[in-house]
């Protein structure tokens, strides 16, 4: 066969690409790319991994993935040795075997004919029903075997089409990721919760909202109605300072009582828009996944509260003693409170009254920022604002 590894290596070098370029784009370890170019296929943990890597590497270099996989299969067939016993076995005399087979065939036909003739009137509807049931079971088994693509390994790289369902076992439960539509991007559902992602976009999924990102997901390539996707198990743990509510950011809850727990998806394209945490201010939550900003204000005395929520227009309330006000924002909240000494305030269940009670009038911004030390995590920070009317578009 044409040298599979040589094709990969020569194509890469002609394009002026290094192995490091390939690693960065394909997410395949360098040792496996070297093994493919050297045709050292024994180091791969399994053929599923190898075929997936060949497909992904071929797409990166602009080669035909199916043709390269076929070259590998041809190579594999050629490399398999012929068993020694097949090469050294002597021809057997079949004369007596043929005669014995013929005699047994006659006996069997006689017995069957006798049985049929004596029982031709005893065939019942029950037998017909049994045949139908057997066919139904076989049909059901066939459909079931094709219904799910189970992600049993730590990483899965392969092509999918609309209607494919990936079953992901996780913590003694199974989560179904279904490919609904393939176009410029991909629409998919996780346990019937709909999401959308674009080509080259990265998302990370937290199946049970425990502060850990469980699955990394990336679209590698789209050709027609076929999408090549990387799914990889990850474990990024955040510091849980407070139990954060789910409202606000890219969350959805499954209402069925026997369904899986809440699922959260984090879209990198959205999170990258968030600026890094400023120096100064009061950090309410540090090193956590970005969620909503849920603020509760309770008045002990007559107080005025004005607020800007995200990009919405200004709202204001006059709170009588005993009144409560709940404000739910997604990215930022600006508060203007007169008689701040007369109110109690908490953000995401964290009390902040002791911070505000020293002032009669306060103007503060509460906003999510990227953590300065860990780009995967976020800080919820409260700081002073001089001109709140000019701060509603995510300004500093």
Of 156, 275, 278, the C-alpha closest to 220 is: 156
pLDDT value of position 134: 45
pLDDT tens per residue, range 189-224: 887 678 788 877 788 887 766 656 788 888 888 988
Of 301, 341, 295, 296, the C-alpha closest to 318 is: 301
Q: How far apart are CA 394 and CA 396, in angstroms?
A: 7
**Top mean-pLDDT range of 46-55, 238-247, 257-266, 376-385:** 46-55
Mean local confidence (pLDDT), 283-312: 87
Of 373, 385, 369, 212, the C-alpha closest to 284 is: 369
User: Which pair of structure tokens corresponds to residue 21?
Assistant: 């370029």
Could you tell me if 5 and 36 are in contact, meaning their C-beta atoms sit under 8 angstroms apart? yes
Mean local confidence (pLDDT), 359-385: 78
In 3-state terms, what secondary structure has residue 381? strand
pLDDT tens per residue, range 75-84: 888 766 555 5
Could you tell me if 269 and 201 are in contact, meaning their C-beta atoms sit under 8 angstroms apart? yes
The percent of residues above 90 in pLDDT, for the chain, comes to: 26
pLDDT value of position 277: 64
Q: How far apart are CA 330 and CA 250, in angstroms?
A: 10
Higher-pLDDT residue of 89 and 269 is 269
Cα 265 versus chain centre, distance: 8
Taking the CA atoms of residue 90, residue 91, residue 96 and residue 102 in that order, the dihedral angle to the nearest 10 degrees is 130
Map tokens 């998806």 to a residue.
265
pLDDT tops 80 at residue 265: no
Q: Which residues of 77-103 are buried (b: 16+ CB within 10 A; e: fewer)?
A: eeeeeeeeeeeeeeeeeeeeeeeeeee
Measured N-to-C along each axis, helices 47-61 and 19-26 cross at an angle, to the nearest 10 degrees, of 110
Provide the pLDDT confidence category of residue 14 given band limits of 50, 70 and 90: very high
Task: State residue 244 phi and psi, 5-degree precision.
Answer: -85, 135
pLDDT tens per residue, range 109-154: 665 555 545 554 444 444 444 445 545 544 444 434 446 788 877 8
pLDDT value of position 334: 92
Strand partners, 332: 367
pLDDT value of position 201: 74
Provide the pLDDT confidence category of residue 361 given band limits of 50, 70 and 90: confident
């Amino acid at each position: 066969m044409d040298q599979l590894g040589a094709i990969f290596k020569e194509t890469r070098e002609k394009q002026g690409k290094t192995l490091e370029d390939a690693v960065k784009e394909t997410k395949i370890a360098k040792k496996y790319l070297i093994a493919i170019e050297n045709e050292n296929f024994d180091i791969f943990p399994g053929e599923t991994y190898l075929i997936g890597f060949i497909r992904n590497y071929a797409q990166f270099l602009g080669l035909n993935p199916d043709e390269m996989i076929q070259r590998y299969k041809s190579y594999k067939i050629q490399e398999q040795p012929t068993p020694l016993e097949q090469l050294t076995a002597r021809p057997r005399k079949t004369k007596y075997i043929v005669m014995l087979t013929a005699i047994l065939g006659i006996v069997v036909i006689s017995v069957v004919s006798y049985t049929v003739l004596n029982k031709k009137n005893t065939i019942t509807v029950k037998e017909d029903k049994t045949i139908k049931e057997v066919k139904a079971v076989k049909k059901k088994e066939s459909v079931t075997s094709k219904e799910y693509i189970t992600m049993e390994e730590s990483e899965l790289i392969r092509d999918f089409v609309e209607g494919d369902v990936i079953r992901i076992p996780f913590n003694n439960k199974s989560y179904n990721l279904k490919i609904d539509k393939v176009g410029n991007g991909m629409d998919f559902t996780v346990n019937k919760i709909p999401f959308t992602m674009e080509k080259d976009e990265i998302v990370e999924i937290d199946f049970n909202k425990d502060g850990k990102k469980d699955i990394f997901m990336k679209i590698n390539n789209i050709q027609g109605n076929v999408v090549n996707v990387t799914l990889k198990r990850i474990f990024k743990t955040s510091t849980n300072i407070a139990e954060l509510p789910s409202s606000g950011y890219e969350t959805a809850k499954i209402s069925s009582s026997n369904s899986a727990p809440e699922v959260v998806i984090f879209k990198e394209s959205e999170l990258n828009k968030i600026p890094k945490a400023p120096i100064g201010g009061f950090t309410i939550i540090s090193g956590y996944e970005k969620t909503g900003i849920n603020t509760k204000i309770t008045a002990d005395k007559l107080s005025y509260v004005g607020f800007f929520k995200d990009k919405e227009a200004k709202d204001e309330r006059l709170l009588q003693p005993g009144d409560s006000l709940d404000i739910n924002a997604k990215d930022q909240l600006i508060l203007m409170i007169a008689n701040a000494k007369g109110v109690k305030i908490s953000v995401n269940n964290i009390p902040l009254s002791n911070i505000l009670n020293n002032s009669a009038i306060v103007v503060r911004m509460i906003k999510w920022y990227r953590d300065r030390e860990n780009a995967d995590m976020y800080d919820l920070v409260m700081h002073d604002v001089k001109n709140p009317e000019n701060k509603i578009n995510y300004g500093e």
